[in-house]
Structure 1
Amino acid sequence: MFPKRYWFVFLTYVLMLLVTAFVPVFIYFIFTVNVFEAALYTNVVGFIIGTIIVLWLMRKDIKEENNVSSLSAGQIIGWTALGVLLAWIVQIIAVNIEIELLGINPTSENTELIVELTKLNPIFFLIPAITAPILEELIFRKILFGTLYKKMNFFLAAIISSSIFGVLHMDLTHTLIYVSMGFVFAYIYVKTKRVIVPIFVHMTLNTVTVLGQIFIDPEQLEQIEKSMFIFFGG
């Protein structure tokens, strides 16, 4: 189903997740380093290396895509803006469903952890702002959704790829939000035929989410949350 290079991409991603999850614990117990600092630097190094390897493995795919679909800078900016707008709209709908129908607290532990690590050292911001969007869009949209979309309709391909995307964020109570965002990323990818566009959408959402959590006054942030407009990255 997948070319050999895609399996190497999956393997790289899984190994990266394992390393960033378990190496900080090892460092903490062996060297008694602060566990948050160990996690911060391990994740930054791991995501940068993982992104470089995946980009190298997919260099042929990216080149072919650029040759097939040509977009001007203005078109890329326009589609990115539309994607961000659509993502915020589906987030509002998903948050309303979670709060009103499912009784789920809108607070995201995943987002809170990212914000805390970024506050600890701004270098961590490289992950949500750059490396994670590149990795996730190449894997979940370019490879997974793109392959499934050749064999089934948009909805099925999007629900499968977006569900895996949501579950792997380890924020299961908010899976609906991640799945809805996955649908938007997939839609933008289909319309533009360029994975760089959902990458830019993803980068923008994550950047606004983290910076908003850091710099918006806590009282203002609480008012925003009460209005059910919750910033979620992916």
Structure 2
Amino acid sequence: MKKEYWFVIITYIAMQLSSIVGVPIFMLIGSYTGMPADELEVKSAAYWIVFSFLAALFLILFLMRKDMREKLDTRNQTSVSMSILWAIAGVFMALFAQSIAGSIEQMLGVESESENTQQLISLIYKVPMVIFVTSVIGPILEELIFRKIIFGSLHKRFNFFISALISSVIFGLAHGEFEHLLLYTAMGFTFAFLYAKTGRILVSMSAHIAMNTLVIILQVVYREDIEKMLDTAQAFIGGLL
């Protein structure tokens, strides 16, 4: 693995752990505003997420500035038009993989709701700026780390399946929700396929961004409408029964 890749991984890990120090600092600064303690804690966490992700993104892009033009495998690199089509198709592939994995988890007795997702949604309601992190910055960082660096490095030594499986499991473990490991692994596998198929990290990155954005829109913007539709449907079915 290239030396700068290790610096990138260290930066990413440091960003994930930085809230231990960053949030208390933001709370100390915010305490002078007279904000209630519970609201101060939530907003400090939200603003630190935005700050730390932006800082990590700029630093990682700087570290990888000479590397971004390199291709995974020039023989497999697709044209721009085909890459756009794969990016669009990748959104539906990721959603399909997510739904299949989610169904399997439910059959195993795992609750469908993700704790991470619910926490992020609660932060978005408090600080809407967080939506940019979850929809754009997060996917960019994850594709650079887990697909370009980890999967790309493994794929130079192993076949696609082994490389995609290992990198996707690491991707799942990094989210800290072991009960949803299958779900994250399935999505990681899909994004690894898109990267390997096209040879362009922008393809898996675009699909990841689009999928996260769609999920956040449905969860935040149209959540009440969806809940009303589900309640209406349940009442209708209950009336028939």
Q: Which range, TM-score by smaller chain?
A: 0.7 to 0.9
Secondary structure of the residue that 1:122 maps to in structure 2? coil
Q: Aligned partners of 2:210 and 2:132: how far apart in 1?
A: 13
1:128: which partner in 2? 134
* Mapped contact 1:5–1:58 kept (Cα < 8 A): yes
**Paired residues of 1:51 and 1:131 also in contact (CA < 8 A):** yes
Residues 109 and 67 of structure 1, relative CA distance in 2, 3 Å threshold: closer
Residue of 63, 67, 79 corresponding to 1:71:
79
Q: What secondary structure does 1:63 align onto?
A: coil
| Superposition deviation, residue 66 in structure 1 | 9.9
Tell me the distance in 1 between the aligned counterparts of 2:173 and 2:68: 26
CA distance in 1, matches of 2:168, 2:20: 22
**1:18 matched to 2:29:** no
User: Does 1:223 find its partner at 2:235?
Assistant: no
Matches within 5 A, 1:169-188: 169-188=175-194
Q: State the one-letter code of the partner of 2:105.
A: E
Compute the displacement of 1:71 (Å): 3.2
1:99 correspondence with 2:106: yes
Kept in 1, the 8 Å contact 2:47–2:127? The answer is no
Superposed CA offset, 1:193-215 (max 9, x none): 00011111110111111111012
On the 8 A contact 1:99/1:105 being kept in 2, the answer is: yes
Going from structure 1 to structure 2, the CA distance change for 1:43 and 1:67 (only over 3 Å counts) comes to same
Pick aligned residue for 1:204 from 190, 210, 228:
210
Offset of residue 37 of structure 1: 0.8
Shift of 1:53: 0.9
1:70-92 CA distance string (max 9 Å, x none) = 632x3332111111111111111
* Distance (whole Å) between structure 2 residues aligned to residue 121 and residue 31 of structure 1: 14
CA drift of 1:219 comes to 6.3
TM-score by length of 1: 0.87
Backbone CA RMSD of aligned residues: 2.3
Q: CA deviation at 1:148?
A: 0.5
CA shift at 1:121, angstroms? 1.5
Count of residues in correspondence between the two structures: 222
Show the counterpart of 2:88.
Answer: 81
Match of 2:124 among 95, 118, 121: 118
With normalisation by structure 2, the TM-score equals 0.85
Q: CA deviation at 1:65?
A: 3.0
Q: How many angstroms apart in 2 are the aligned matches of 1:71 and 1:124?
A: 34
- Secondary structure class of the residue paired with 1:50: helix
How far did 1:22 drift?
A: 3.7
* Residue aligning to 1:147: 153
Amino acid at match of 1:71: S
Contact 1:114 1:210 in 2 (8 A): no
* Pair member with larger Rg: 2
Provide structure 2 residue ranges, at least 5 long, that are not aligned to the other structure. Answer: 32-36, 234-241
Give the % identical residues. 37
The answer to whether the Cα contact below 8 Å between 2:73 and 2:199 also exists between their aligned partners in 1 is no
Instruction: Note the C-alpha offset of 1:67.
Output: 11
Partner of 2:239: none
Q: Give the 3 Å change call, closer, same or farther, for CA 134–217 of structure 1 in structure 2.
A: closer
